[in-house]
A and B are shown apart, each in its own frame.
Chain A
């Protein structure tokens, strides 16, 4: 199947269109809210919440006996919120640290959820099959109403984000200051956390409990590398998330036996990888290049200062010296010498070099002031 054919199929085939739209919307909403989770150092909260949502799904099923995905998601939301606030209770009221609290709630809720799920499976009720799709997610089960629900919640998120933008932003970067300004920090905090929980619960059906945390983190972590502005970061994260969804769906649709969730996560991982390496200001590649450049620069300075100390001993600073005497010197290479010549600090005459007036002046001030041209 080639690309144009696939794109045509996306617009004509009902299932494919629903799934592509669903994962794209999901990716963008998790990316948006994930930015806040990452910046608030609550990255693993997503993992804990998604696991903690499982007993809620099971209990909602036990109570209603129906497999209506909206009711189940409501159960997941309630149980996710309980998990979140219990984690907060543990951290603030006992001396257990946040990682312990997260791990505890994650594993205990999930285990309890498993107990309930296996209990349900043994029930003489034919309706229970398919609950375990929430474990690993099944994008194929998305229907149009699910996508509408996602779109609705995404737009609510967007409105709330825009309404409380400055509150979220200030709480993110300076919580104490926010308090002194008279904002109700607890309310803002609960609001943003609830929306994060909501986004996670939305994704359970598509990517599942286990992989949900990556959906939350990966787009945000990738976006973080390209900008230092919160607004741009949230926007980029939403874009990355949406593209992960679209590409992931495309890849998994074009192959047999590939579930959508893991592929989306891997695509998001590729985004992160690329961002880590190629981002211009923070990326590892450019960091390494800058590092090498700086080292060259220092060596150039060293060579120049060495020449300066030799030239100093002569009355005429342009007195020629043999290149050979530089040979044992660490910072010396043919390249650095050429660079000095290009900068007009040094003149070459055959196998001799001499310092120019300009080079002499630069060298004498080398460690006294910052030179403008950092090359």
Chain B
């Protein structure tokens, strides 16, 4: 591995960590799309900053762009507050217009600006190591490494200092306000950090990858855990892993690094989305099927309890009486038998004592309608689940 390769991976990993931290909170606060809006609307800020400083890494440019990000948030909130349109429409209106202004600014000054929209939107990580930071003639590393490193340090510092405030205002804004933490300060603080991170990261990895690195690791982690600290750690791990593996994918395909990192993020998300225990799509579908069978079982047992007539309880008539398909009634019947809730004599189904107990408790549950009760009941009575 050459020096430049190590530096690229280091920058990508730092960006991933710096994005994962605010990203986790954005996802939890249902503001993920705000990061998308910010990443686009910083363009005019960058352009104006670039006119003034002529340097993509100057602190003034980062500041100006971050301010544009905050302006976006404020504008969205203002439009939303007028009640003329909903929040999502407000977001969808503000950022394309700001972005257009940026594009036009670039186009009108195309002759004397070395800045193009592709670079802002897509970034080029491969060039990052060539832009060195010189302090007193000494080469201390790539500029973007320093920029993103300091942003990361600030973010981590803020995270540790305000962890409990962030946590409480994320999960219970009302409680946070009544305890005296201003929700507005925390909200705009988070927005500022997100804008600064977006701006700091864009020229290395591009605006779209910033969005991907903010949302995807956090969303993936959210499918695996409900503990905030763990979610942060998972998100950081996913981010760093896809940053490094994405680099090697790009190396192999000779394609854009930002694109490959995003693709890796996508693959990880897809895997977790499919296979996560409890919340993955397969687990959810399985659980839904299980619940469907169990509800059918309950209906079936209640039907038996309500009817003493033999013709209502004949195995062959179940299909007509409860309106089930054949396969369905077979699985339900087998489940009931396995759980010792029914006995079948001469094709006539009748409830056992256990089945009767179960149904009377089930009726209780239906009347009181307490959600926790049914799960206990199932644990008590079921030897085999649906």
Contact = CB atoms under 8 A, between A and B. Distances in A.
Interface of A: 38, 41-44, 46-47, 51, 89-90, 93-97, 99-104, 106-119, 122, 132, 135-136, 210-211, 213-214, 216-218, 221, 224-225, 257-259, 261-263, 265-266, 269, 272, 276, 282, 284
B260 interface: yes
Most B CB atoms within 10 A — which of A102, A217, A263, A276? A217
Interface in B257-316: 258-263, 265-266, 269, 273, 279, 281, 284-285
Contacts of A51: 208
A104 B82 contact: no
A210 B99 contact: yes
Contact of B208 (A46, A114, A258, A259): A114
B92 A107 contact: no
A269 B265 CA distance: 34
A108 B33 contact: no
A110 B215 CA distance: 13
In the A-B complex, the 7 residue pairs with the smallest Cβ-Cβ separation, listed nearest first, are: A111-B262, A115-B259, A214-B96, A107-B212, A262-B100, A114-B259, A108-B266
Nearest to A215: B96
Contact of B254 (A44, A108, A111, A122): A122
B259 A210 contact: no
12 contacts: A38-B86, A89-B281, A99-B33, A103-B215, A104-B269, A107-B211, A108-B262, A119-B255, A136-B117, A210-B40, A210-B96, A216-B92
B219 A96 contact: yes
Nearest to B79: A276
Given A100-B27, A284-B82, A112 B259 contact: yes
Nearest to A121: B255
Interface string B91-126: 111001101110110011010000001100110000
A352 B273 CA distance: 81
A211 B110 contact: no
B4 to A, nearest CB: 19
Contacts of A122: 254-255
A96 B32 CA distance: 11
Contact of A217 (B30, B33, B93, B214): B93
Given A214-B92, A224-B84, 7 more contacts: A90-B273, A93-B281, A104-B215, A110-B208, A111-B262, A112-B266, A269-B97
A214 B97 contact: yes
A115 B256 contact: yes
B35 interface: yes
Interface in B54-100: 79, 82, 84-86, 88-89, 91-93, 96-97, 99-100
A221 B212 contact: no
Interface in B34-49: 35-36, 40
Contact of B107 (A93, A95, A259): A259
A89 B280 CA distance: 11
Given A111-B209, A112-B259, A210-B99, A269 B93 contact: yes
A100 B219 contact: yes
A276 B83 CA distance: 10
Given A111-B209, A221-B89, A221-B93, A258 B108 contact: yes
Interface of B: 27, 30-33, 35-36, 40, 79, 82, 84-86, 88-89, 91-93, 96-97, 99-101, 103-104, 107-108, 110, 117-118, 121-122, 208-209, 211-212, 214-216, 218-219, 222-223, 250, 253-256, 258-263, 265-266, 269, 273, 279, 281, 284-285
B258 A214 contact: no
Contacts of A43: 86, 88-89, 91-92
B269 A108 contact: yes
A103 B216 CA distance: 8
Contact of A119 (B117, B253, B285): B253
A263 B104 contact: yes
Contacts of A269: 93, 96-97, 100
Contact of B30 (A100, A112, A211, A282): A100
Nearest to B123: A114
A115 B33 CA distance: 22
Contact of B103 (A38, A108, A114, A259): A259
B215 A276 contact: no
A149 B179 CA distance: 60
Contacts of B31: 99
